[in-house]
Amino acid sequence: MKDWKVLLQQAEAKATAALEVDSVEEREKLNADAEALITEAQSIKASLDIQERLKKAVLPADLPTGDETGEAEPEPTKAFEPFYQLRYGTESEEIKAVLADVHGPDYRQQRYEKQLDFAKYLRTPNDPRIGKWGRTFLWTPETVKMALEEGQDVRGMKTVMVSAVDELGGYLVPEDFRNEIIQRLPALSVMRPLCRVVSTSRDKVSFPKITGGDGQYRSAVRVTWVDETPTAGTAATSYTVGMESISVHTGMAETYISRNHVEDAAFNIVAWLAEEFAMAKAGDENYQLIRGDGNGKPQGILAGAQTLSSTDISSTNSGSNSGLNTGDEIITMEFALDAQYRQNARWLAAKAFYRDARKLKTGDGEYIWERDYQAGTPAKLLGYPVLESENVPAHTTQNNYSALFGDFYRAYWIVDRVGMSVERYLTGSEARVNQVMYIARFRTGGQCVAGWAIAALKTSA
């Protein structure tokens, strides 16, 4: 198999030669040869499973990692094109036009240089080669598409670039790094895979909320059948619309790395930080989305252990002040939801709740919860999937909401805002223990927007 790097060097030589010839035909031939070599190099690179490696780490070992601190700078013209193609593929003409308008025609090279610059900052923040990129927000094809779908124009995107720099200190990370953390969260989180996740370039998401609905209708609009001479006003409706807003809040996560690892070129510091920050964010996010009070942070389904965040959430009393009673409360909770919300419903509670539910028996001594222990079969309660989270309050404490049941995708929205920063600290206290501290700042919001799709079990007083 040919060396893809050699092919790229040959392509560059062809393109350079094309600039020096006078013949139009010869110039076109040289450019065509260069394009063919680039295409072949990309094909070979793909065959080496680069795409799979890109999923596992922010920057693969043979793409820029910032470890070249003791070597000469690679010429961007030799690397940024294949780097961009492998990471983003070929974007549409509309996306290309927007990126060129927002960042200039060299937006691909800017993206490559920012990735390289970020990795250098993580190791040596005072490196003189680190330039403007730490305070520069660069849109990716994915975030441009998202912004366009939100109704943003180029002027609005440039405003977002300014606000992203103004609102967060430290090094404004490449959007790829933020996306890498977000992509890891569903595997580490209970709530995020269940809920609707929305990305935004704004500090608040607002959307219309239709009111006047009930178990059958989603709004106040009703269908009326009339005969040939209908009574006046028979088909009248009272369609009403309100506004729901979800604010985006700033969170912080910190971690420490041995200075020996930071100085070790073989240590993939970018991928390690992405993993650590994703773990920390997932743990805290689960708590906030379930029971956050909404004060400067996401508002959970429960506003604390003993308060529902929405009056639309159905509440069922357990009938016992020390745990589960007879199991009737579980059945009552199931039918607290209308049929359309039970189709995609699931249970969410702490493991102790399921333990005690599993022990409930009929008068004949038969277990109420017939669990399937076959390998690979997910646990179900009353035929609905079971999910565990220790962030759900204990069912043995009076007045706690100890179990949730419902369609979480319809009920709860998570909002992720573009823009994230990382700061590197090496003060006297860190230096004495041979460590470097990194702090990530990110922005996330969350709110229950359709409480009627959720039911909660309350332990009796």
Residue 387 is predicted with a pLDDT of 92
Does a structural domain hold residue 24?
no
More confident residue, 445 or 130: 445
Does a structural domain hold residue 290?
yes
Q: How many CB atoms are located within 10 Å of the residue 234 CB?
A: 10
Residue 417 is predicted with a pLDDT of 84
| % of the chain beyond a pLDDT of 70 | 73
Does a structural domain hold residue 443?
yes
The answer to whether 113 and 133 are in contact (CB under 8 A) is: yes
- Which two three-digit tokens encode residue 87? 């990471």
Residue 168 is predicted with a pLDDT of 54
Q: SS3 of 432, please?
A: helix
Residue 317 is predicted with a pLDDT of 92
Q: What is the mean pLDDT of the chain?
A: 78
Rounded to 5 degrees, what are φ and ψ at 388? -110, 145
Tell me, yes or no, whether 225 and 256 share the same domain: no
Tell me, yes or no, whether 381 and 364 share the same domain: yes
Tell me, yes or no, whether 292 and 374 share the same domain: yes
- Distance separating alpha carbons of residues 205 and 208, to the nearest angstrom: 10
Residue 371 is predicted with a pLDDT of 60
Instruction: Answer with the one of 187, 216, 247 that is the final residue of a domain.
Output: 247
Could you read off the pLDDT of 278-307 as tens digits, one per residue?
888 888 999 999 999 999 999 999 998 999
Beta-sheet strand order (sheet of 314-317): 314-317, 454-458, 401-406, 346-349, 384-388, 380-381
Does a structural domain hold residue 78?
no
Could you read off the pLDDT of 115-161 as tens digits, one per residue?
878 888 888 766 555 567 777 888 888 878 877 876 777 777 777 77
Residue 60 is predicted with a pLDDT of 39
Tell me, yes or no, whether 335 and 353 share the same domain: yes
Could you read off the pLDDT of 51-67 as tens digits, one per residue?
444 344 344 334 444 44
Tell me, yes or no, whether 275 and 214 share the same domain: no
Residue 299 is predicted with a pLDDT of 94
| pLDDT score of 68 more than 50 | no
Q: What is the CATH number of the domain that holds 318?
A: 3.30.2320.10
Count of domains forming the chain: 2
Residue 56 is predicted with a pLDDT of 44
Q: CA-CA distances (angstroms) from residue 45 to 2, 11, 298? A: 10, 15, 42
pTM of the model: 0.68
Tell me, yes or no, whether 440 and 325 share the same domain: yes
The answer to whether 448 and 299 are in contact (CB under 8 A) is: yes
Residue 89 is predicted with a pLDDT of 75
Tell me, yes or no, whether 327 and 304 share the same domain: yes
Residue 308 is predicted with a pLDDT of 94
Instruction: Answer with the one of 247, 279, 308 that is the final residue of a domain.
Output: 247
Tell me, yes or no, whether 302 and 372 share the same domain: yes
Name the residue among 367, 369, 364, 373 with its Cα closest to residue 384: 369
Residue 151 is predicted with a pLDDT of 73
Range 423-449 average pLDDT = 88
Beta strands 346-349 and 384-388, pairing class: parallel
**DSSP, res 265:** T
| % of the chain beyond a pLDDT of 90 | 21
Tell me, yes or no, whether 224 and 271 share the same domain: no
Does a structural domain hold residue 209?
yes
Domain assignment of residue 388, given as a range:
196-202+249-461
Residue 319 is predicted with a pLDDT of 86
Does a structural domain hold residue 126?
no
The answer to whether 398 and 441 are in contact (CB under 8 A) is: no
The answer to whether 124 and 133 are in contact (CB under 8 A) is: no
Range 308-327 average pLDDT = 88
Residue 345 is predicted with a pLDDT of 94
The answer to whether 417 and 201 are in contact (CB under 8 A) is: yes
More confident residue, 142 or 395: 395
Instruction: Answer with the one of 215, 247, 279 that is the final residue of a domain.
Output: 247
| pLDDT score of 205 more than 50 | yes
Range 69-76 average pLDDT = 45
Name the residue among 292, 322, 318 with its Cα closest to residue 305: 292
Tell me, yes or no, whether 239 and 306 share the same domain: no
Does a structural domain hold residue 159?
no
Residue 303 is predicted with a pLDDT of 92
More confident residue, 40 or 101: 101
| pLDDT score of 451 more than 80 | yes
Burial class (CB in 10 A: 0-12, 13-18, 19+), 369: middle
The answer to whether 55 and 61 are in contact (CB under 8 A) is: no
Does a structural domain hold residue 115?
no
Tell me, yes or no, whether 440 and 375 share the same domain: yes
- Residue 406: pLDDT band (50, 70, 90) is very high
Could you read off the pLDDT of 252-276 as tens digits, one per residue?
888 888 988 888 767 888 888 888 8
Tell me, yes or no, whether 209 and 284 share the same domain: no
- Distance separating alpha carbons of residues 461 and 459, to the nearest angstrom: 7
Range 169-189 average pLDDT = 74
Task: Give Cα 7 distance to the centre of its chain.
Answer: 37
